């Protein structure tokens, strides 16, 4: 197996999960209604748990312990796409990000369930069932609020237009695309993106929202290479604050 290629894939996936998980957790206590507070908190718990399992696979490939990987790196060592690190903003933005990201993620894990790298395939078979609930949740609210009233529709439309270039950054290709494909580990970012465009288009068509022409959008790349917005480092500082006080503490 091509270990550098697998590590590259695992890092970006785990970092996406950890960072978006952390962002989702910022809704705890602040959700617009109690059910949404619980939903974003639950999705945070799922995603952070999934990131830990992915970091564990990296650990088995020789990388440091999951906590060390999660809490001791700086922004330029993170490989999450920039979409995941953006502040939660208002609920409409968090909902749109959740919708765009989780559709991509479900497709990714569905594909990885057939990976020839068996430890990842096993984990993917498990995770895809969990992410399905995240996607169901996003679809329900996009349909509801995307057809509700002028304010909800215009808020979602603005957030959609703002988030889409970042969402295309999910599919920024890495140096190992060909190796991952030829070894049957992962079908590649393009394959995920094509399916993603199809699925989100189907959902958006059921609402009063309009999807811009993808060919006119400039994807926001860089996250996979450690180039981030000014929002990531403060997030990492906050997330690792307690850990850094005493990295050897037992919990």
Residues that bind other proteins in the complex, under the rule CB under 8 A: 35, 38-39, 41-43, 45-50, 52-53, 119, 122-123, 125-127, 129-130, 132-133, 136-137, 140
Q: Which is nearer to other proteins, 52 or 84 (CB)?
A: 52
> Do the Cβ atoms of 209 and 163 come closer than 8 Å?
no
Q: CB neighbours of 162 closer than 8 A, spacing ≥ 6?
A: 93
Closest C-alpha to 145, from 195, 98, 108: 98
Cβ 230 to other proteins shortest distance, Å: 29
Cβ 124 to other proteins shortest distance, Å: 9
Q: Which is nearer to other proteins, 10 or 164 (CB)?
A: 10
Q: Which is nearer to other proteins, 8 or 46 (CB)?
A: 46
Cβ 107 to other proteins shortest distance, Å: 15
Separation CA 116–CA 139 (nearest Å): 31
Cβ 45 to other proteins shortest distance, Å: 5
The CB density around residue 20, as the number of other CB atoms within 10 Å, is 26
Separation CA 243–CA 247 (nearest Å): 5
Cβ 18 to other proteins shortest distance, Å: 11
Phi, psi of 250, rounded to the nearest 5 degrees: -95, 140
Cβ 139 to other proteins shortest distance, Å: 8
DSSP 213: P
The CB density around residue 156, as the number of other CB atoms within 10 Å, is 25
Q: Which is nearer to other proteins, 25 or 157 (CB)?
A: 25
The CB density around residue 137, as the number of other CB atoms within 10 Å, is 20
> Do the Cβ atoms of 99 and 203 come closer than 8 Å?
yes
Q: Which is nearer to other proteins, 137 or 228 (CB)?
A: 137
Q: Which is nearer to other proteins, 122 or 158 (CB)?
A: 122
- Whole-angstrom distance between the N-terminal and C-terminal Cα of the chain? 35
């Amino acid at each position: 197996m091509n270990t550098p290629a697998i590590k590259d894939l695992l890092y970006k996936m785990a970092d996406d999960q950890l960072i978006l998980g952390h962002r989702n957790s910022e809704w705890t206590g602040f959700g617009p209604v109690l059910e949404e507070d619980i939903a974003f908190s639950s999705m945070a718990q799922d995603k952070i748990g999934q990131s830990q399992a992915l970091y564990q696979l990296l650990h088995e490939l020789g990388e440091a312990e999951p906590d060390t990987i999660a809490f001791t790196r700086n922004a330029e060592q993170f490989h999450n796409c920039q979409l995941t690190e953006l502040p939660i903003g208002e609920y409409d933005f968090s909902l749109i990000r959740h919708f765009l990201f989780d559709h991509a993620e479900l497709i990714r894990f569905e594909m990885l369930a057939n990976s020839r790298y068996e430890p990842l395939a096993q984990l993917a078979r498990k995770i895809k069932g969990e992410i399905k609930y995240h996607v169901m949740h996003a679809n329900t609210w996009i349909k509801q609020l995307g057809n509700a009233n002028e304010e909800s529709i215009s808020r979602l439309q603005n957030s959609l237009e703002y988030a889409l270039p970042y969402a295309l950054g999910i599919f920024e290709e890495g140096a190992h695309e060909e190796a991952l494909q030829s070894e049957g580990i992962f079908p590649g970012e393009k394959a995920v993106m094509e399916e993603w465009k199809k699925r989100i288009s189907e959902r958006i068509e059921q609402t009063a929202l309009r999807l811009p022409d993808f060919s006119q959008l400039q994807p926001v790349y860089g996250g996979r290479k450690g180039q981030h917005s000014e929002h990531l480092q403060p997030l990492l500082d906050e997330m690792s604050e307690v850990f850094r006080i005493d990295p050897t503490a037992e919990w």
